[in-house]
A and B are shown apart, each in its own frame.
Chain A
Amino acid sequence: MPKVLDNRQIGPLIWKMLIAVPRLVMKAKAGQFVIIRVNEQGERVPMSIAGLDRQKGILTVIYQVVGKTSALMTTVPAGGELADCVGPLGAPSHIDNWGTACVIGGGIGIAPIYPIAQAYKEAGNRLVTIIGARSKNLLFYEDEHRAVADELYVCTDDGSYGQKGFVSEVLKKLLDEGRKIGQIMAIGPVPMMRVVAELTKGYGVPTWVSLNPIMIDGTGMCGGCRVAVEGKTMFACVDGPDFDGHKVDFDLLSKRLGAYKEMEKAAMKRFLEDPHCRLAESIRSLAAQS
């Protein structure tokens, strides 16, 4: 079973987990994902790759506590084990030299855009990076991104850090200034990816997004991760996760992401109300913080 080397909180409800999976790390490329199962009763959840230490064989995933499974993930101590960590899955991101390339990470998307930023940079692009979050305490990986990017723009919705506003506004300004950007890759919450894609369509800049729908096996077997791209049904697990943002049906994606909302809420409630669970207590207090 894959060993967890470290698992620590890096923001309100944001955690960073390091997992020793040398073969997976050796094989994985930017843009791919893994599927994690915490314990025998656990569900299979897709997780973006937030970092690959090829020398040490360590995978980094960064996750937000949004439901029972992510809450459960926080309970795995350093030195503990996961039931499974399968991968690498999905097709790697397309990497090329477009002259200037731009990566955009919103919220938790700041994590998975990082290996792609590295790959873009290594391919010789001038790299413009835009990261943003709701508020200062939800930002992370700024230093990591700064080390890779030729230009880094940081923004928060509430102006508590960096520029005030959305990542799309920063991007719009750059495009309005006439900056030539050959390729954009945006990862973040669905509304953010949608806004970025809608914006860049007008400027004719190719824009890719990485989709994270509900999945089970991650090998094309179940079809649960269906997305519509230019009206055509695709499986995000094998045909993606990257798709042309100008062609993705974001409405469908957000609806399908909410398919189990009520059951997820009930599971989380049941979990948090368990009086014997010490974790529940800490999650309750974390939830209160955010």
Chain B
Amino acid sequence: MTNRLEKKDRMKIPRQTMPEQDPLERIKNFLEVPYGFTEEQALVEASRCLECPKAPCVKGCPVEVDIPGFIRLVVEKDYAAAARKIKETNSLPAVCGRVCPQEEQCEIVCVMAKKFSPVAIGALERFVADYERNNNLIQLPRIDPPTGRSVAIVGSGPAGLTVAGDLIKLGHRVTIFEALHKPGGVLVYGIPEFRLPKAIVQAECDFLARLGVEFRTSTVIGKAETIDELFEMGYDAVFIGTGAGLPNFMGIPGENLIGIYSSNEYLTRSNLMRAFDFPNYDTPIMIGENVAVLGGGNTAMDSVRTALRLGAKNAYIVYRRSEAEMPARKEEIHHALEEGVQFHMLTNPIRFIGDGKVQAMECIRMVLGEPDASGRRRPIPIEGSNFILEVDLVVVAIGNSSNPLIPKTTPGLQTNKWGNIIVDKETMQTSRKGVYAGGDIVTGGATVILAAGAGKIAARAMHKYLMEEVKK
């Protein structure tokens, strides 16, 4: 093992930061913003890890990645082994290294964070995953002998991909059904290229295909086939990971004017359909000069930064609370500000104005009152504070409800009052025998890693169910 510095010396090393594309340059392209660590940086950063015996970082991770374990392998320069160490519990390290909110999971509890800054766990995760992929060091795992059982997975987002990866390795036959024409779910239609290159998602899906996972794209379960019909087709268990795909709108006058998009539509046009490359790709997207994005989450940041890249002169975030309450990652807020996004905080639109096409938005200023059910201070409108904001494009990014296509066509599948599928949290089993669910369709809009974590739990329970209760 490599000689390591004394702990007190490790603490003196400053946290490494990933080099990034210059903000003025990157708003003209869709290429990824951070370049990732160089090998030298990764080694320096890895050497900062104190290898705490209690490893609070592991408990901070929703899928309990052996963080000190993989970082030790980085120190030993065995990067591919480090990537494999992560993959023992997280099948999507290249994705999670980029989009996980590490600052509120593993890094916030890092012992180094108390007096210095936390180890850059996310950047290291990304480094090893990229190293493994770029150097063709990805090894096919050992696949257990065929069990004769087969599983249908509905939705190919982070939850579905995780379940597929785990169950195929255990020897089950796995088919993923995807409604859109490309697998990846939100990783493909939702998260922009500049934050998560689509080639990475494709590589993850290709890897699963090499393991034997069958992908059936352009198949809308709930329409083409129902869950019951999947069982009739011979599948022994089903996992539903369809995400929270039903966009919320504000419900205010003028919302159907041309130039008002849901973030789902705006991002799908740009990401999945590649409208940013119109007319080389056939799907058009409206180019706004003054673009307002409503909302304060990661999707809002993705939308507003997309608008800038598509040529907006003024790109605004309009959010009814203050910056402190924004659910978006700090890193994304920082990137947006660096790129010149203008924040209208404590502002809420009350109507859209325009003749056919949106021309302006009437807003009202807000003030924060007492905390509400979410624990955040409730925004209250200030009477008489109305003002007009001129906009020619609006993207509504205020969250999603659960898509009813599957619950409506699956008798006996219980949902809560928001339409989310009810599961046993220990197993992710639904009210229907042999039917499991996880990700946003269960929790409502959440994160990639929580969906992947749910997939892990479901896969474990499904394996048990398949082996113990499905007779072959």
Nearest Cβ in chain A — how far from B154, in angstroms? 12
B200 at the interface (CB under 8 A from A): no
A220 at the interface (CB under 8 A from B): yes
Nearest chain B residue, comparing its CB with the CB of A269: B279
For A224, list chain B residues within 8 Å (CB). 261-262, 265
Please determine whether A88 and B218 come into contact, CB atoms closer than 8 angstroms. no
- Give Cα A226–Cα B262 distance, bound, in whole angstroms: 10
Residue-wise interface mask of A (80-97) relative to B, using a CB-CB cutoff of 8 A (1 in contact, 0 not): 000111111100000000
Q: Quick one: which of B258, B264, B269, B356 contacts A221, CB cutoff 8 A?
A: B264
Binds B, one of A123-131, A259-267, A277-285: A259-267
Interface size class of B (residues with CB under 8 A): 35 or more
Please determine whether A221 and B218 come into contact, CB atoms closer than 8 angstroms. no
Residue-wise interface mask of B (160-183) relative to A, using a CB-CB cutoff of 8 A (1 in contact, 0 not): 000000000000000000011100
Please determine whether B249 and A233 come into contact, CB atoms closer than 8 angstroms. yes
Binds A, one of B7-15, B50-58, B85-93, B280-288: B280-288
For B403, list chain A residues within 8 Å (CB). 219-221
Nearest Cβ in chain B — how far from A255, in angstroms? 5
Q: Quick one: which of A41, A233, A256, A267 contacts B284, CB cutoff 8 A?
A: A267
Please determine whether A84 and B223 come into contact, CB atoms closer than 8 angstroms. no
Please determine whether A217 and B180 come into contact, CB atoms closer than 8 angstroms. yes
For B189, list chain A residues within 8 Å (CB). 221
Nearest chain A residue, comparing its CB with the CB of B246: A220
Please determine whether A223 and B249 come into contact, CB atoms closer than 8 angstroms. yes
Nearest chain B residue, comparing its CB with the CB of A215: B265
For B180, list chain A residues within 8 Å (CB). 217
Please determine whether B179 and A86 come into contact, CB atoms closer than 8 angstroms. yes
B43 at the interface (CB under 8 A from A): no
B220 at the interface (CB under 8 A from A): yes
A24 at the interface (CB under 8 A from B): yes
Nearest Cβ in chain B — how far from A146, in angstroms? 33
- Give Cα A224–Cα B281 distance, bound, in whole angstroms: 19
Contact A221-B247, Cβ < 8 Å, known A44-B273, A252-B256: yes
A78 at the interface (CB under 8 A from B): no
Contact A222-B264, Cβ < 8 Å, known A68-B282, A84-B181: yes
Nearest chain A residue, comparing its CB with the CB of B224: A27
Contact A266-B279, Cβ < 8 Å, known A217-B268, A219-B245, A222-B262: yes
Contact A43-B283, Cβ < 8 Å, known A23-B224, A219-B405, A221-B268: yes
Residue-wise interface mask of B (314-339) relative to A, using a CB-CB cutoff of 8 A (1 in contact, 0 not): 00000000000000000000000000
Nearest Cβ in chain A — how far from B82, in angstroms? 36
A228 at the interface (CB under 8 A from B): yes
Which of A27, A222, A270 neighbours the largest number of chain B CB atoms within 10 Å of its CB? A222
A37 at the interface (CB under 8 A from B): yes
B35 at the interface (CB under 8 A from A): no
Please determine whether B286 and A259 come into contact, CB atoms closer than 8 angstroms. yes
Please determine whether A43 and B224 come into contact, CB atoms closer than 8 angstroms. no
For A256, list chain B residues within 8 Å (CB). 256, 258
Which of A86, A219, A221, A259 neighbours the largest number of chain B CB atoms within 10 Å of its CB? A221
Nearest Cβ in chain A — how far from B311, in angstroms? 14
Q: Quick one: which of B181, B223, B268, B284 contacts A263, CB cutoff 8 A?
A: B284
Q: Which residues in B have some Cβ–Cβ distance to A below 8 Å? A: 179-181, 189, 217-220, 223-225, 245-247, 249, 255-256, 258-259, 261-262, 264-265, 268-269, 273-274, 278-284, 286, 356, 403-405
Q: List 10 A-B contacts (CB under 8 A).
A: A41-B274, A216-B273, A220-B245, A221-B264, A223-B262, A223-B264, A226-B256, A259-B259, A264-B284, A267-B282
9 closest residue pairs by CB, A with B: A222-B265, A221-B245, A263-B284, A223-B262, A43-B282, A43-B283, A223-B247, A86-B218, A84-B218
